[in-house]
Chain A
Amino acid sequence: MVGPSGSGKSTLALAIAGLVPREIPGTISGSLRLDAAEIRSIDPPALASRVGIVFQDPASQLVMERVADDVAFGLENRGWPRERMVARVPESLAEVGLAGLELHRSTRLSGGQQQRLALAGVLAPQPRVLVLDEPTANLDPAGAAAFFARLAGLRASRSATIVLVEHRVDAAWPLADQVLALNGDGSPIDAGSPAEVLDRSRARMVEAGIWMPDEPARGRRRRLQTLGDTLVEAAGVGFGYDRRSPVVNDVDLALAAGERVALVGPNGSGKSTLGRLLVGLLAPQRGRVLMRGDDPSRLPAAELARRAGYVFQEPERQFLADRVADEVALGLRPDELALVADLMDRLRLPLETFGDRSPYRLSGGEQRRLSLACVLVRRPALLVLDEPTFGQDRLGHEALIAILDERLVSGTCVVAATHDERFVADVADRVIVVDRGRIVSDGPWQAAG
């Protein structure tokens, strides 16, 4: 299932799993059937034993402390006899490549492993239909690749119908027997075999902003011939939330005005922490960070906001207002307020439509664009963006790139911590690879292979 951000993909996925309108209020018109019965009229236990759903965020789907207990949880709820559970739990874990981790704590697993654990829990009761709502959105490329490898195995076994909502089209399209493309308003563009849909409706899908499977990265269009002077300097920086286990270690780094830097590395490698150190949201425990000669962690809030912007990985955690219009205008000076409407239009969140809505009620992709707007509207000299293209369709991706390109002239330095290889190719001049809190490589961007 493909469609632009906010086209109702998740809502349709939830409806197939029977959670809309039962758990999330709403009205359904038309007919949605499973084995000829209306999904709405199937009682919850019967439906839950036939349909399983995996969500985006692994942390909010894992219930039990230990891996095997979590897989067994869904079976206990369905009243499986103990002998069958004891046999089935290791089997399901093996299906997702987590054999042998039965007694591990789920909180200690990597994001990719957690998501495969969520999949194991949903697969254990052998559902007829498996619904996956952007299951790899939070995963690094290695974690996503491992997840898709398991999905390919499931597809080959033909044991369940799989409904996959996914922005990573390069991995998803080859797995599909059928593609359903949705328009921005939630209406269907086309449905059919991938080849047919591409053939018939490519132009309309492109217009709607849907990623196409064979679309190459565009590459940098504009770059500065000479970079400006040094904006931020980190020397010997170390930081750990628990002093005994540092998350960032011995980082030396200089960022110049106008530079475009991608911070890449696996989940948990310290990219987000490094980003927060660079803008002074955290103070280093060892070494120092200087932003044009000042320690950014000691700058008054108003001064810091003039110099630097930071977009957090999870949009919901940075919202501070009840309306979209208030959120984007929060703390702005009058001259900056004048820029809001135009920026929101470009990010496809026009204030006429979105201004009165609650930030929490937006789709994941819309929330991401709102959080970007809140920071882009200020025009700070340093922008640190944590997963800026999370859940974005092609239009969102292009709008962001265009805005960042315009800021080149004024010498804005952009640092993006990201798993999105296309975004790196389209934006970055310099790629810094972080692993276990250390910079393991730092050099100009080069096309892979």
Chain B
Amino acid sequence: MGPADISDATASSPLGRTSPIVKLVVALGWLIGLAFTTDPRPPVAIVVVAIASGVVLGRVEITRLIRTILPLGLAAIGIGAFNVLFSASNLDETATELARLGPLRITSAAVAGGLGLGLRVLAIASVGAVFSLTTDSTRLVDALAQQARVPERFAYGALAAYQAVPRFGEDLTTLRQARRVRGLRGSWHPRILVGLLILAIRHGDRLALAMDARAFGSGPRSRYRIVTWRPLDAVVAVGAVIVLVVALRLPAG
């Protein structure tokens, strides 16, 4: 995974302009809220709201959003199914039996538990995907430094390192090819991992040298891009609280 590209349409959309800190807090708040319920309906509501707001308020293409959610979505199905099949309540004689798969008794409690868990993983995937597809990494780091008061040396250092993520894949490919063309077998030989580590450290050293040569960390910094709180941030925050409260109190049936 390299730095995500957010489109111009997304950058100028309401969610794109919302402070990344607000989005981060909303995402965490929603996920913590979901931890207090085993009811399958609140996570479904959060998934629907997250996808809808990503498309409508964030102008993210629906296909791109779904492609991003898909891998974790499949994991959600796997986790849910595993918990349905191997739930402890399946062994409980007094529990209501819902179905029987050969020797395996499936109880309604197991289905509810597995469904709740799978849907919560799906909710995490959806909220995470909307966050990453509507958040420019530079804006995120600016907001972390200016609004969340994260130390700048750490924030901008992390951003610079993040730019280098695609390099690791190229390093790995080249090291493996270098072994092969010299007649050595084994594309997961431990030496390759040593090589990767050395290359990562050396790249980090060079980057740090270039940053220090440009006076990074030499004194108080000024700011080229100013991040300020805006009414939009409050609107998104309040809206998110309402969504969570409503989701948790959805009427039964």
Interface size on A, residues (CB 8 A): 65
Q: B84-92, B100-108, B203-211, B237-245: which lies at the A interface? A: B203-211
Q: Which residues of A sit under 8 angstroms from B220, Cβ to Cβ?
A: 79
Given known A45-B215, A75-B224, A82-B223, contact A318–B3 (CB-CB < 8 A): no
Max chain A Cβ within 10 angstroms of own Cβ: one of B180, B203, B223: B180
A374 to B179 Cα, complex, angstroms: 11
Task: Tell me whether B159 and A72 are in contact (CB under 8 A).
Answer: no
A73 contacts partner chain B, Cβ-Cβ < 8 Å: yes
What is the distance, in angstroms, from B208's C-beta to the closest C-beta of chain A?
8
Task: Tell me whether A360 and B198 are in contact (CB under 8 A).
Answer: yes
A308 to B159 Cα, complex, angstroms: 40
A200 contacts partner chain B, Cβ-Cβ < 8 Å: no
A312 to B136 Cα, complex, angstroms: 34
Q: Which residues of A sit under 8 angstroms from B214, Cβ to Cβ?
A: 48, 52, 63, 73-74, 77, 121-122
Can you spell out 22 A-B residue pairs with CB atoms less than 8 angstroms apart?
A23-B212, A45-B218, A48-B215, A61-B207, A61-B210, A63-B211, A64-B138, A64-B159, A69-B225, A73-B214, A76-B224, A89-B224, A107-B163, A125-B215, A301-B181, A301-B184, A309-B181, A317-B170, A318-B178, A320-B178, A320-B192, A331-B182
B213 contacts partner chain A, Cβ-Cβ < 8 Å: yes
Task: Tell me whether B195 and A320 are in contact (CB under 8 A).
Answer: yes
Task: Tell me whether B207 and A316 are in contact (CB under 8 A).
Answer: no
Q: A82-B226, A276-B177, A374-B182 are in contact. List 9 more A-B contacts (CB 8 A).
A: A23-B212, A59-B167, A75-B222, A76-B222, A105-B5, A281-B181, A300-B185, A319-B195, A331-B183
A310 contacts partner chain B, Cβ-Cβ < 8 Å: yes
A78 to B219 Cα, complex, angstroms: 7
What is the distance, in angstroms, from A412's C-beta to the closest C-beta of chain B?
16
Instruction: Output the nearest chain B residue to A380 by Cβ-Cβ distance.
Output: B181
A23 to B216 Cα, complex, angstroms: 13
Q: Which residues of B sit under 8 angstroms from A66, Cβ to Cβ?
A: 138
Task: Tell me whether A19 and B138 are in contact (CB under 8 A).
Answer: no
A64 to B171 Cα, complex, angstroms: 21
Partner of A317, one of B164, B199, B219, B224: B199
* Contact residues of B between 100 and 151, Cβ < 8 Å to A: 136-138
* Contact residues of A between 294 and 336, Cβ < 8 Å to B: 300-302, 304-306, 308-310, 312, 314, 316-320, 330-331
A81 to B198 Cα, complex, angstroms: 39
B230 contacts partner chain A, Cβ-Cβ < 8 Å: no
Task: Tell me whether A78 and B215 are in contact (CB under 8 A).
Answer: yes
Task: Tell me whether A79 and B195 are in contact (CB under 8 A).
Answer: no
Task: Tell me whether B210 and A301 are in contact (CB under 8 A).
Answer: no
Q: Which residues of B sit under 8 angstroms from A319, Cβ to Cβ?
A: 178, 195
What is the distance, in angstroms, from A138's C-beta to the closest C-beta of chain B?
13
Q: Which residues of A sit under 8 angstroms from B166, Cβ to Cβ?
A: 107
Q: Which residues of B sit under 8 angstroms from A360, Cβ to Cβ?
A: 198, 202
Task: Tell me whether B213 and A19 are in contact (CB under 8 A).
Answer: yes
Q: Which residues of B sit under 8 angstroms from A62, Cβ to Cβ?
A: 163
What is the distance, in angstroms, from A37's C-beta to the closest C-beta of chain B?
17
Task: Tell me whether B215 and A65 are in contact (CB under 8 A).
Answer: no
Given known A44-B212, A49-B215, A57-B206, contact A80–B182 (CB-CB < 8 A): no
Q: Which residues of A sit under 8 angstroms from B208, Cβ to Cβ?
A: 23
B79 contacts partner chain A, Cβ-Cβ < 8 Å: no
Task: Tell me whether A60 and B203 are in contact (CB under 8 A).
Answer: yes
Q: Which residues of B sit under 8 angstroms from A107, Cβ to Cβ?
A: 3, 163, 166
Task: Tell me whether B163 and A314 are in contact (CB under 8 A).
Answer: no
> Range of interface residues on chain B?
35 or more
Task: Tell me whether B223 and A320 are in contact (CB under 8 A).
Answer: no
A231 contacts partner chain B, Cβ-Cβ < 8 Å: no
Q: Which residues of B sit under 8 angstroms from A60, Cβ to Cβ?
A: 203, 206-207, 210
Q: Which residues of B sit under 8 angstroms from A82, Cβ to Cβ?
A: 222-224, 226
A74 to B160 Cα, complex, angstroms: 14
B221 contacts partner chain A, Cβ-Cβ < 8 Å: yes
A53 to B210 Cα, complex, angstroms: 8
Partner of A85, one of B192, B209, B210, B222: B222
Given known A76-B222, A331-B182, contact A320–B175 (CB-CB < 8 A): yes
Partner of A281, one of B170, B180, B219, B226: B180
Q: Which residues of A sit under 8 angstroms from B218, Cβ to Cβ?
A: 44-45, 48, 77-78
Partner of A301, one of B175, B185, B209, B211: B185
Q: Which residues of A sit under 8 angstroms from B192, Cβ to Cβ?
A: 320
Task: Tell me whether A318 and B175 are in contact (CB under 8 A).
Answer: yes
Instruction: Output the nearest chain B residue to A121 by Cβ-Cβ distance.
Output: B214
Given known A19-B209, A60-B207, contact A305–B181 (CB-CB < 8 A): yes
Task: Tell me whether B224 and A69 are in contact (CB under 8 A).
Answer: yes
* Contact residues of A between 265 and 311, Cβ < 8 Å to B: 276, 279, 281, 300-302, 304-306, 308-310
Task: Tell me whether A65 and B182 are in contact (CB under 8 A).
Answer: no
Partner of B221, one of A17, A48, A77, A122: A77
A49 to B137 Cα, complex, angstroms: 28
Task: Tell me whether B191 and A320 are in contact (CB under 8 A).
Answer: yes
Task: Tell me whether B213 and A17 are in contact (CB under 8 A).
Answer: yes
Partner of A318, one of B174, B185, B210: B174
Partner of B179, one of A52, A59, A320: A320
A24 contacts partner chain B, Cβ-Cβ < 8 Å: yes
Q: Which residues of A sit under 8 angstroms from B160, Cβ to Cβ?
A: 63-64
Instruction: Output the nearest chain B residue to A107 by Cβ-Cβ distance.
Output: B163
Partner of A330, one of B175, B182, B203: B182
What is the distance, in angstroms, from B58's C-beta to the closest C-beta of chain A?
19
What is the distance, in angstroms, from B9's C-beta to the closest C-beta of chain A?
14
Given known A79-B221, A306-B183, contact A74–B215 (CB-CB < 8 A): yes
Q: Which residues of A sit under 8 angstroms from B156, Cβ to Cβ?
A: 63, 73
B71 contacts partner chain A, Cβ-Cβ < 8 Å: no
B217 contacts partner chain A, Cβ-Cβ < 8 Å: yes
A173 contacts partner chain B, Cβ-Cβ < 8 Å: no
Instruction: Output the nearest chain B residue to A103 by Cβ-Cβ distance.
Output: B8
A390 contacts partner chain B, Cβ-Cβ < 8 Å: no
Instruction: Output the nearest chain B residue to A45 by Cβ-Cβ distance.
Output: B218
Which 3 A-B pairs rank lowest in CB-CB distance, beginning with the nearest?
A: A305-B183, A48-B215, A45-B218
A308 to B180 Cα, complex, angstroms: 11
Instruction: Output the nearest chain A residue to B177 by Cβ-Cβ distance.
Output: A281
Max chain B Cβ within 10 angstroms of own Cβ: one of A122, A308, A316: A316
* Contact residues of A between 364 and 381, Cβ < 8 Å to B: 374-375
What is the distance, in angstroms, from B149's C-beta to the closest C-beta of chain A?
17
